[in-house]
Amino acid sequence: MRVALDEAALAAQAGEVPIGATVVFEGRVIARAHNRRELDKDPSAHAEFLALLEAARVLGRWRLTGCTVYVTLEPCLMCAGLMVNSRIDRCVFGAPDPKGGAVGSLYDLSRDNRLNHGFEVTSGVLQDECSKLLQGFFSQLRDGTRASALSREEAPLPCCCPNADEAQLGPRVLLAIDSFKGCATSAQIEDWVEEGVLHAAPGAQVEKIAIADGGEGTCEAVHRSLGGELVETKVEGPLGSLCQARYLFVDDEGTTGPFAVIELAQADGITQSSCTYDAALDASTFGVGQLIVHALDRGATSLYIGLGGSASTDGGVGLLMALGAHLFDEAGGQIGRGLRGLENLASIDLSPALERLRNVSVSILNDVTNPLVGARGAARIFGPQKGLCAQGAPADALDLADANLVRYGRLLTQARDAHDGGALQVGEPGARPRSLMAVPGAGAAGGTGAALLALGARMSSGIETMLDLVGFDDAAAHANLIITGEGNLDNQTAAGKAPVGVAKRAKAAGKPVVAIVGGRADDIDEVYRAGIDLVVPLAPRPLALECALDPAVARENARIAGDAAVRAYLL
């Protein structure tokens, strides 16, 4: 209940009715929340309602058997009904609500034998403290002394605010944080950081832009900012079995027209492969091509294809096949799928695939610079993690794979040269690499970058394209402080990952930047030089990795980090 009271206090500081809730499972707090009806403009955003939703997400099930809900005010009919439907074991509340309480005061859904579930209720825990918090809040509203965050004349002007009116409203904070892989999505981590921001500066105006760099979470991030439809369809996975994959389709009636955002890993994800040697030879991008065809059939005139997390090293051959390209062996037959099929490749005809993409703009979202072949190529750098060096692989497996990609790269370049596609592939208009094999990024996703380049796609920075899509520059222009972040920050981050992409745009607009990170390297001078002013680690104390990744722990740590980021800015 003390934790629930802390949540209630956060609600009061944000101008909400001070009600807080927690959910406990097996002696551990797995979810916590406070009233957010005004913040979210959502009539269902009651503290216990939000906490129950979070608990279901954490446990991965809707049945919350074994859970106890702690809430500072007796639940209303809506929340008590959710407790019935979610099958909780027990509800503990602080202050009774004679006007609307639904577990004992006005109604009692917990013991209604007409319903299919009942639960135990304990009332009056820390009742005085819960009641005083509510009474004080409403008393201040009645007599006008609750100046809240909008009229504290005694507060000093933050350095960002040129006048008193702006200071009264609090700083304008823009959150643009990448996902913390294995822990939280971009949207989740931003919601948690927002709570800390509002704790430190209750009057802050917070805008959230979910971001990604073209890898995992890209579709979700764009969907949150632009809307559209997350389309689900069955395609072939990397090893040929059917899998459920999705992409984002946005029916934009503006200048761009309908477009689709596709994550390669939806149909060719490394998590879908056993990563044995045979799997590494057989893994194919055919399903990625099927997603492209599906989006084209829906009317997409622009495609944004995120490369990352692939299982294959087939050079994008499967993708080309799905689009209709012909890849023949010496006998004139179609080669097999995957890297194994490249052993027999003799010729390539891109005509059907190029025709399929006529008048379609294709952008590759990619932040690696590896070429198709060589010491830094697709096979030698990324092949081992996909199984090319697994048990049963010959000692020269990487050499063989690279040799196959070299032959493929030559034939792919010849096929490209037979057509006009690709004239604007790299750099300024008119630039056209003599060979696709050495183009930076051609080796992305097992060489899929090379295949897309041959079809006339443009190679672009994943984060830069994302920031353009979601309108980051306009949002940054109106912000006083920008908070970014990612799961792990090191000098590689400066090579083009999301936080530095955000920081460069922010610096161009003259805005300070704080990065909240799950972990950081000792030496991050390159990151600071790239434009990040302050790095705030998520964990305030040493934690085991398993504990740090726990959503309830991560949420609390994100709140603390958000609080620290804003307080540092307001100094």
Q: How far apart are CA 145 and CA 26, in angstroms?
A: 43
Determine, yes or no, domain membership for 152: no
216 catalytic residue (yes or no): no
Which CATH number characterizes residue 30's domain?
3.40.140.10
Residue 127 pLDDT exceeds 70: yes
Query: What pLDDT does 431 receive?
Result: 56
Query: What pLDDT does 69 receive?
Result: 97
> In terms of domains, do 459 and 475 share one?
no
> In terms of domains, do 343 and 273 share one?
yes
> In terms of domains, do 24 and 124 share one?
yes
Query: What pLDDT does 496 receive?
Result: 67
> In terms of domains, do 426 and 341 share one?
yes
Residue 425 pLDDT exceeds 60: no
> In terms of domains, do 424 and 483 share one?
no
Determine, yes or no, domain membership for 22: yes
Cβ atoms of 123 and 74 within 8 Å: the answer is: yes
Higher local confidence (pLDDT), 215 or 246: 246
Q: What is the mean pLDDT of the chain?
A: 88
Determine, yes or no, domain membership for 55: yes
Cβ atoms of 208 and 187 within 8 Å: the answer is: yes
Q: Output the pTM of the full model.
A: 0.67
Determine, yes or no, domain membership for 158: no
Least confident of 196-210, 386-400, 483-497: 483-497
User: Could you tell me the pLDDT band of residue 143, with boundaries at 50, 70 and 90?
Assistant: low
> In terms of domains, do 89 and 228 share one?
no
Residue 424 pLDDT exceeds 60: no
* Close Cβ partners of 345 (under 8 Å, ≥ 6 residues apart): 317, 327, 328, 329, 335, 404, 407, 408, 411
Cβ atoms of 558 and 566 within 8 Å: the answer is: no
Query: What pLDDT does 526 receive?
Result: 85
Query: What pLDDT does 493 receive?
Result: 66
The residue from 7, 16, 38, 48 that is catalytic is: 48
Residue 521 pLDDT exceeds 70: yes
Three state DSSP letters for 414-464: HHHHCCCCCCCCCCCCCCCCCCHHHCCCCCHHHHHHHHHHHCCCEEEEHHH
Determine, yes or no, domain membership for 151: no
User: Could you tell me the pLDDT band of residue 40, with boundaries at 50, 70 and 90?
Assistant: confident
Query: What pLDDT does 168 receive?
Result: 44
Query: What pLDDT does 153 receive?
Result: 34
> In terms of domains, do 173 and 105 share one?
no
Query: What pLDDT does 293 receive?
Result: 98
Token duo for residue 257: 């027209």
Q: Which domain holds residue 205?
A: 164-211+470-570
Give the single-character DSSP code of 435: -
Residue 167 pLDDT exceeds 70: no
User: Could you tell me the pLDDT band of residue 495, with boundaries at 50, 70 and 90?
Assistant: low
Query: What pLDDT does 164 receive?
Result: 40
List, for residues 255-284, the tens digit of each pLDDT value: 578 999 999 999 999 999 999 999 999 999
Which CATH number characterizes residue 528's domain?
3.40.50.10350
List, for residues 300-310, the tens digit of each pLDDT value: 999 999 998 89
> In terms of domains, do 130 and 203 share one?
no
Higher local confidence (pLDDT), 358 or 432: 358
Query: What pLDDT does 432 receive?
Result: 62
* Close Cβ partners of 110 (under 8 Å, ≥ 6 residues apart): 80, 83, 84, 91, 103, 104, 118, 119, 120, 121
Q: How far apart are CA 155 and CA 163, in angstroms?
A: 13
Query: What pLDDT does 426 receive?
Result: 44
Share of the chain above pLDDT 90, in %: 67
Question: Domains in the chain: how many in total?
Answer: 3
Q: For the residues 368-382, what does the mean pLDDT come to? A: 94
Determine, yes or no, domain membership for 148: no
> In terms of domains, do 180 and 314 share one?
no
Single-letter amino acid code for the residue at 282: D
List, for residues 1-18, the tens digit of each pLDDT value: 999 999 999 998 888 999
Least confident of 136-150, 518-532, 552-566: 136-150
List, for residues 454-494, the tens digit of each pLDDT value: 999 999 888 999 999 888 999 999 999 999 999 888 766 66
> In terms of domains, do 187 and 246 share one?
no
- Please state the φ and ψ torsions of residue 492, each to the nearest 5 degrees: -65, -25
230 pairs with which residues across the strands?
248
